Structure 1
Amino acid sequence: MLSDWAIKQLEKITYDYLHLNCQEGTCYGILAIIGWIIFVVASFFIPNQFFMFWGNYIALIGATLFILIGLVLLVDFAHTWSETCIEKWEESDDNKWKYLLIGSTLAMLLTSIILTGIMYNFFAGSGCGLNQFFITFNLILCIIVIFLCITPVVQEANPRSGLSQASMVTIYCTYIILSAIANEPDDNMCNPLTRSRGTRTTTIVLGTILTFLAIAYSTSRAATQTSALDDDDDGHDDEKNGVAYNYGAFHFIFAVASMYVAMLLTNWNNINTTGSEELVIIGQSIVAVWVKVVSSWICLLLYTWTLIGPVLMPERFEVI
């Protein structure tokens, strides 16, 4: 049972993110800690066959779910960012919100063009047909969504849709394609980054940092903003009971995120034997390349649906 002092210290450590209103004799945190230790120790006695099955099927499915959740959150954030800037501008009549929205949109579109040029220059040489396809197909899809978001029929169904959301989705998908081809195996001499050890080491370190920062952001956002994924009212008021998040959704998001990390560290179950002096390369396999590329396509597809959905089914997308 946690004492009042222990509860206050826990709240202080989390900057009051966890606010516990436990009645006397109802906080049994020590039991949870003991249970966790038991499970950790028990995991060492689980047969290897279980972990093989878990990694090949369960963790693979969970990692895929985490990617899909992250893509949904990205599209949602793109719309939220634009709508927030517009609302702030309309409410305060402060032009800084207008300049922020326009400036960020132009910056993201310009960056997307620069990244595309870099990919064509360094990764799309002669004999690199697959890379050329990835880059060109992504460019075509991005151009389609940019023009689609400003068409009159889409603007009529959703007046707040515009270049801001499209630019955010475009730069993200362009970055994903760049990340995919920059970390692919250099079997066809199409990845110059793997030929220089210094560049390779820098790429691995930066790629690892960016990967885990993205995981941390996606996990925290998804776990604490479950209303975007679950609008059902189960009759249980978590906020009234001193909880700032939904327990089930919070732990589910972290569970699938841990599966995603496991897939990254094992190169999506693509095991290669290397020398002990080699760095562990996260995400450098043909499987990881296709996972990233398909993820970018799904992201563009989801955003496209948010544009054409209100046109095709206006009654389902009516803003209340």
Structure 2
Amino acid sequence: MKACGKEGEECFHALGVLRVSLGCYIFFSVMFLTTVKTRKLHESWNLWHSGYWEVKFIILLVSMALPFFFPSELVQIYGEVARIGAGVFLLLQLVSVIQFIIWWNNYWIPDEERMQRWSFGVLMSTLFYVVSICGIVYLYKTYAPRASCSLNLFFITWTAILLAAIMVVSLHSKVNRGLLSSGIMASYIVFLCWCALRSEPANATCQTKNQDKGNTDWITIIGFLIAIFAIVIAAFSTGIDSKSFRFSEEIVEEEDDIPYSYGFFHLVFSLGAMYFAMLFISWDLNNSARKWSIDVGWMSAWVRVINEWFAATIYIWMLISPIVRQNKVMGNDRTVQETVDSVMP
């Protein structure tokens, strides 16, 4: 094809990945535009969302083929936009995960009728914190074995500080959210730190395990497939979790309402297509990852680290935001009362 350049090189490697991603993005954008207004189960667009698979399969094939006729310059522009879309996908995924953690914590809160739940909650809290601490020790031993590994030492130490901050805020008398949600969140940010360190280039000198060989053994391949599966599950779980992103809590649900926002579902998958592309090219539009590798490179590592910091920040804000709003309301009421008192004879 003319758009693929000499010997088709512009349809392979990073540009090839971006073309496939653009095709997926086009398909899910079409689905978003055709379902975003759906509100009730009896509407025709509800049937379109849940059926007509033959028609949608044809639309998918056309959408996947179109980008291979687009000029490379347009695909490069899409790649720049995809970086932003992938970042938005990460933020949506973070909010969804944090909302689930908070819900799980509320489920296990102690009361007189649920002492078994409370005991299990204490056990799980202890387990998650033990896992988090062991994870920090493992990261120091594996990725920062020498004092010269200053960057890795900073990443791991800052993760430990975030872990302590989350615990302190959760146990504060005004917040009082217990240790379960903070323990789960601590384990999650330790996991994100590990992912960031794993994403460092193969020639990184501060790893005790040599990853420079790039052998495609069965463990590497299974790890690759598990990573893909985990991202798919994350896209599904975030897509059907539209209630976590409502700005108003006063919406009354009726029996004939759709179970989740179809438009938001397809929006998440369109952003997920961008995220997939960034993982396969390691967020670098000019280079491709090694065979059977995913999300490897300094740019990928920094994206993971920033994602970890955002996760901790969003979680802490969700803990303290009710207190901030309450203090603001009390301050406004006090100001009104002082004004009334000043004008009273």
1:14 is matched with: none
8 Å CA contact retained: 1:131, 1:181: yes
2:20 is matched with: none
The code of the aligned residue for 2:79 comes to G
Which of 188, 207, 213 is equivalent to 1:191?
207
1:13 is matched with: none
Per the normalisation by structure 1, the TM-score is 0.78
* Residues in 2 aligned to 1:203 and 1:37: alpha-carbon distance in whole angstroms: 33
Which of 273, 287, 292 is equivalent to 2:304?
292
Report % sequence identity: 24
1:263 is matched with: 278
* Residues in 1 aligned to 2:58 and 2:305: alpha-carbon distance in whole angstroms: 43
8 Å CA contact retained: 1:194, 1:200: no
8 Å CA contact retained: 1:265, 1:283: yes
User: What is the DSSP-based 3-state SS (H/G/I as helix, E as strand, rest coil) of the residue aligned with 1:279?
Assistant: coil
* Residues in 2 aligned to 1:191 and 1:265: alpha-carbon distance in whole angstroms: 22
* Residues in 2 aligned to 1:123 and 1:237: alpha-carbon distance in whole angstroms: 50
Comparing 47-56 with 291-300, greater Cα deviation is found at: 47-56
- Per the TM alignment, residue 197 of structure 1 is displaced from its structure 2 partner at its CA by 4.7
Aligned residues: 285
Which of 166, 174, 183 is equivalent to 1:145?
166
Comparing 183-192 with 119-128, greater Cα deviation is found at: 183-192
8 Å CA contact retained: 2:203, 2:211: no
* Residues in 2 aligned to 1:216 and 1:173: alpha-carbon distance in whole angstroms: 20
2:66 is matched with: 42
Matched, 1:229 2:249: no
Residues 216 and 306 of structure 1: CA distance in aligned 2, closer, same or farther (over 3 Å):
same
* Residues in 1 aligned to 2:59 and 2:287: alpha-carbon distance in whole angstroms: 36
* Residues in 1 aligned to 2:42 and 2:153: alpha-carbon distance in whole angstroms: 58
Computed over aligned residues only, the root mean square deviation of the Cα atoms, in angstroms, reads 3.2
Which ranges of structure 2 fall in alignment gaps of 5 or more residues?
1-39, 331-345
Matched, 1:302 2:314: yes
1:112 is matched with: 132
Residues 179 and 36 of structure 1: CA distance in aligned 2, closer, same or farther (over 3 Å):
closer
- Per the TM alignment, residue 303 of structure 1 is displaced from its structure 2 partner at its CA by 1.1
* Residues in 1 aligned to 2:95 and 2:288: alpha-carbon distance in whole angstroms: 36
Matches within 5 A, 1:1-320: 29=52, 31-56=55-80, 58-86=81-109, 90=111, 93-126=113-146, 127-155=148-176, 161-195=177-211, 197=213, 201=217, 204-205=220-221, 207-231=223-247, 240=256, 243-269=258-284, 271-272=286-287, 279-314=291-326
8 Å CA contact retained: 2:282, 2:288: no
- Per the TM alignment, residue 208 of structure 1 is displaced from its structure 2 partner at its CA by 2.7
Show CA shifts across 1:232-284 (max 9, x none). 59x9989626x43322101001111111011000111254478xxx6332111
User: What is the DSSP-based 3-state SS (H/G/I as helix, E as strand, rest coil) of the residue aligned with 2:174?
Assistant: helix
* Residues in 1 aligned to 2:199 and 2:329: alpha-carbon distance in whole angstroms: 39
8 Å CA contact retained: 2:136, 2:156: yes
The code of the aligned residue for 1:184 comes to E
8 Å CA contact retained: 1:267, 1:287: yes
Residues 118 and 31 of structure 1: CA distance in aligned 2, closer, same or farther (over 3 Å):
closer
8 Å CA contact retained: 2:142, 2:209: no
User: What is the DSSP-based 3-state SS (H/G/I as helix, E as strand, rest coil) of the residue aligned with 1:283?
Assistant: coil
The code of the aligned residue for 1:78 comes to I
* Residues in 2 aligned to 1:149 and 1:130: alpha-carbon distance in whole angstroms: 29
8 Å CA contact retained: 1:185, 1:191: no
- Per the TM alignment, residue 33 of structure 1 is displaced from its structure 2 partner at its CA by 4.3
Per the normalisation by structure 2, the TM-score is 0.72
